[in-house]
Amino acid sequence: MDVIAANTPKDFMLQFDVGTCLDAGADPIAWIKANPGRIKSIHCKDWAPGDGKGYKVLFGEGDSPWSKIFARGRVERRRRVLF
């Protein structure tokens, strides 16, 4: 994710994948804030550490900070972030 964001023009649109961000050990809110105006859609996939979990958890049962992510989307809404 960081490689793509760092090596593309700032007007290049990004789709943010929450589960992949967590799996990579990154902070979703920090990543969204670090790429203002570039994220036009968010893949709302949850993720949790542990055996048998990972991407197999249901939405809301993982480690994703959904309320903070959606609040950040409201801040960015003038840029038409799609969930």
List the chain pLDDT tens, one digit each, 83 residues: 889 999 999 999 999 999 999 999 999 999 999 998 888 888 999 999 999 999 999 999 999 999 999 888 766 655 555 55
Rounded Cα gap, residues 63 and 71, in angstroms: 16
pTM of the model: 0.82
- The predicted pLDDT at position 40 comes to 85
Rounded Cα gap, residues 41 and 54, in angstroms: 22
